[in-house]
């Protein structure tokens, strides 16, 4: 384990590196809104046996200091890239994002697809969440949801991040696996069906995509079904090692890979 902190513009980002870089791409994990590296405690030990794993805390979370940058995905992506450069961690990477972390990882791929070998998106926030999904929920849920934005960035910065993702969207050849929680708390049957549909729609931006429904999981799939998440990431890693992932990204899998 190698732990360090980046000093950029007078602030520190906490970073922990597990495992060793072998012939596989480095795996980078980004947690959900207000969450930090501890969110991956059930996942990284198994993955770090295969390749190098980067866990980090976004600014103002965990052991990282706050900074004066706007807390939008655009700035978070650039801060992450600076961190990786400071640690001499070379691309391409396999990016893993949970919830809001998936917004960051998708934006990273849209902006720098040549630096991304693969994407695994775990119950991530769709860019049309506020317009399409939130109206399907109860008034009580909406009120609680809108009040949560106090830990990193406010509601307007969250919305700006979704807009940044929306306007950056492009079709890439990055192999992408979307894992959707099939047992969400407080969701009606209709809301659950809409959530799953919106998760699968994320794959319209890749030529090599796979959708997995985690039927027994709520939002934290990595906690409810850790073996599913671990096996999904391992499969992505091992698939990419059979090709020149820096130039020809991805290959087909035997479960719902789309072409």
Looking at residue 249, its pLDDT comes to: 43
pTM, whole model, 2 decimals? Answer: 0.90
Looking at residue 257, its pLDDT comes to: 36
Enumerate the β-bridge partners of residue 179.
Answer: 122, 212
Instruction: Report which secondary-structure segment, H or E, holds 138.
Output: none
Looking at residue 258, its pLDDT comes to: 35
Looking at residue 240, its pLDDT comes to: 85
Looking at residue 159, its pLDDT comes to: 97
Looking at residue 36, its pLDDT comes to: 96
Look at the block and give the residue holding tokens 């899998």.
Answer: 253
In a domain, 181, yes or no: yes
In the chain, how many domains are there?
A: 1
Contact 8, 56 (CB under 8 A): no
Classify 258 as helix, strand or coil: strand
- CATH number, domain at 27? 3.40.50.1820
In a domain, 249, yes or no: no
Looking at residue 9, its pLDDT comes to: 59
In a domain, 257, yes or no: no
55 vs 124: CA distance, rounded Å = 18
In a domain, 258, yes or no: no
In a domain, 187, yes or no: yes
The DSSP secondary structure of 180-194, one letter per residue, reads EESS-TT--HHHHHH
Q: Which stretches in the chain have pLDDT values below 50? A: 6-7, 242-259
Q: What angle (nearest 5°) sits at the alpha carbon of residue 179, between those of residues 178 and 184?
A: 135
Phi, psi (5° rounding) for residue 18?
-115, 150
Tell which phi-psi region holds residue 211, choosing left (phi > 0), alpha (psi between -120 and 50) or beta: beta
Looking at residue 247, its pLDDT comes to: 46
Looking at residue 3, its pLDDT comes to: 55
In a domain, 245, yes or no: no
The DSSP secondary structure of 64-119, one letter per residue, reads PPP-SS--SHHHHHHHHHHHHHHTT-PSPEEEEEETHHHHHHHHHHHH-GGGEEEE
In a domain, 254, yes or no: no
In a domain, 103, yes or no: yes
177 vs 174: CA distance, rounded Å = 10
38 CA to centre of own chain: 14
Looking at residue 125, its pLDDT comes to: 98
What range defines the domain where residue 14 resides?
A: 2-240
Phi, psi (5° rounding) for residue 98?
-110, 135
Looking at residue 12, its pLDDT comes to: 87
245 vs 125: CA distance, rounded Å = 27
């Amino acid at each position: 384990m190698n732990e360090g902190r980046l000093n950029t513009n007078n602030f520190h980002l906490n970073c922990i590196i597990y495992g060793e870089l072998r012939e596989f791409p480095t795996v980078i994990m980004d947690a959900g809104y207000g969450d930090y590296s501890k969110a991956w405690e059930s996942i990284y030990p198994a993955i770090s046996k295969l390749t190098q794993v980067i866990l980090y805390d976004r600014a103002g979370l965990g052991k990282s200091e706050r900074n004066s940058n706007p807390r939008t995905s655009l700035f978070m992506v650039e801060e992450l890239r600076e961190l990786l450069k400071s640690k001499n961690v070379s691309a391409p990477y396999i990016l893993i994002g949970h919830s809001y972390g998936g917004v960051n990882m998708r934006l990273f791929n849209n902006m720098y697809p040549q630096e991304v070998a693969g994407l695994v998106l775990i119950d991530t926030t769709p860019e049309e969440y506020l317009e399409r999904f939130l109206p399907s929920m109860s008034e009580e849920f909406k009120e609680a949801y809108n009040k949560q934005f106090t830990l990193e960035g406010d509601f307007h910065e969250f919305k700006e991040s979704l807009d940044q993702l929306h306007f950056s969207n492009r079709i890439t050849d990055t192999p992408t696996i979307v894992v959707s929680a099939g047992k969400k708390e407080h969701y009606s049957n209709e809301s659950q069906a809409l959530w799953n549909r919106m998760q699968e729609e994320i794959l319209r931006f890749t030529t090599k995509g796979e959708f997995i429904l985690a039927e027994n999981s709520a939002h934290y799939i990595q906690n409810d079904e850790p073996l599913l998440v671990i096996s999904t990431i391992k499969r992505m890693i091992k698939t990419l090692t059979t090709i020149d992932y820096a130039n020809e990204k991805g290959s087909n899998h035997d479960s719902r890979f789309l072409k």
